Amino acid sequence: MNRTKVAVIGSGNIGTDLMIKVLRTAEHLEMGALVGIDPDSDGLARARRLGVPTTHEGVDGLIAMPGFADIGIVFDATSAKAHVHNAARLRPYGKRLVDLTPAALGPYVVPAVNLEQHLDADDVNMVTCGGQATIPVVAAIGGVVPVEYAEIVASIASRSAGPGTRANIDEFTETTSAAIVEVGGARRGKAIIVLNPAEPPLIMRDTVLALVRAPGPDTADEIRRAVAAMVASVAEYVPGYRLKQEVQVAPVPADQPLETLLAPGADRPTHQVSVFLEVEGAAHYLPAYAGNLDIMTSAALRVGDRMAARDAARGTAAGNDRGTARQHLEAAP
């Protein structure tokens, strides 16, 4: 079976974990390069031991690599600011980009919700770890009843929040809040991230609170069934993803103020849906408590695999106009 060659930009925790997932579990992908900027990084050293081509000269080093023309998909596991630069440099070469940063240059993609709609996109955005964990649940609730407001809280181990995560806290909240609306279907959304300093580190926990109108007596059971089905769907590519306890559907007290949460003219919700999740990592490279990073790499792998499978079925090279790539390479000084 022909596999699509991929490059991973970013030799830190996320990029290295993604590389190992591609090597161990990908169905349609083959590692073509791991790209970093620190020649002494553990990720690049590990890649070399595994026989993966490497460069420590960033995206320009990737473009200069002998096998660059054969790369079909590029995963970017750097930072929001760096992705803007990387995307601009790669655009002339016809590469398809899967963005694991909160840059949000392309459409938001959450595999269990809307992957099929964006398989042909040039640059897809994987939202955030909190978005990958919670937006499927918001979408599941919204498939039963309209969601007037959804709020998510992602609690992750402080140890699993590296420099990139900490530098992108604002982008995390902004991108996740926007995707709760755009992908999850809520009328309004809010995202909060908590860095938990507990020792030993705790695995990722996520809470979804949704305000809905649930008029019928059977609606609560329909919501629970929809959430359970969605959790099972996500767990197909993130095995450590699970419900922590039964979904709660409770009436909203008549005197509870909601005006600041709702869009102008929205009907007053009748019920609050509370969903409690946890995400345990697969420990391919990262520790098991780093479920926040594992869900990002697992979701990105699912996107890349599906893109490659789709293009293979069409008989095309995934995300790569080889003629365009070679033309630009030959013209380069």
Residues annotated as catalytic (active site), given as ranges: 129
Token pair 């490659």 is found at: 308
Backbone angles phi, psi at 113, to 5 degrees: -110, -50
Q: Residue 111: in which H helix or E strand, if any?
A: helix 111-114
Buried b / exposed e along 89-125 (16+ C-beta atoms within 10 A)? ebeebbbbbbbbbbbbbbbbbbbbbbbeebbebbbbb
Q: Which residues contact 91 (CB under 8 A, 6 or more apart)?
A: none
CB-CB contact of 204 with 295 (8 Å): yes
CB-CB contact of 22 with 72 (8 Å): no
CB-CB contact of 171 with 126 (8 Å): no
Phi-psi region of 149 (alpha: psi -120 to 50; beta: other; left: phi over 0): beta
CB-CB contact of 38 with 44 (8 Å): yes
DSSP state of 69: G
